[in-house]
Structure 1
Amino acid sequence: MGTTYTQLSITERRRIERWRHAKVPVDEMACVLKRCRSTIFRELKRNHFSDESMPKHDGYYGAAAHLMTADRRAR
């Protein structure tokens, strides 16, 4: 049997957000969260906030990421 998959929690996403703004390396984030580094990279790629009218607010936001994930899951 392989490992089981658990989705990132809102707490983990907020930690990733804080670390991302502090420029913590993804490898270090993954180690602390006990997740694969590919999980963190995938999270940052899928849930990156981008708005053409407000480009200075582009980035990763934990709460917004959690809502985007819930929206995708509901479909």
Structure 2
Amino acid sequence: MFRRYSQLNLADRRRLFHFVERKLPIKEMARELGRHQSTIYREIRRNTFRDRELPDYSGYFPTVADDIRKERRQRLRK
């Protein structure tokens, strides 16, 4: 059966943020969002905010993750 690919939207990222805060296992996050585990791993790895000067402010935040995604998308377009 063919599955259509769909990107995570801001609502999905907000739910993911709450799961990350509660430190749920990746498998549980993926099941709740209806996505594959690798999608969740990749989302957290690629869109986590890192601040070298203030490491206490580093982490996964949904609006920042969405902005990072938009910037990456614009950079990669031909």
With the shorter chain as reference, the TM-score category is over 0.9
For residues 66 and 27 of structure 1, the distance between their equivalents in structure 2, rounded to whole angstroms, comes to 22
1:18: how far off? 1.0
- Structure 1 residue aligned with 2:28: 28
1:74: how far off? 1.1
Overall identity of the aligned pairs, in %: 40
Note the alpha carbon deviations across 1:31-73, whole angstroms, 9 max, x for none: 0111000000000000011011110111111110001001111
Ranges of 4+ aligned residues in structure 1 off by more than 4 Å: none
Report the RMSD for the aligned CA atoms in angstroms.
1.1
For residues 21 and 57 of structure 1, the distance between their equivalents in structure 2, rounded to whole angstroms, comes to 14
- Give the count of matched residue pairs: 75
- Structure 1 residue aligned with 2:68: 68
Aligned counterparts, 1:3-14, within 5 A: 3-14=3-14
TM-score, normalisation: structure 1: 0.93
Q: Give ranges in structure 2 of 5+ residues lacking alignment.
A: none
For residues 46 and 5 of structure 2, the distance between their equivalents in structure 1, rounded to whole angstroms, comes to 17
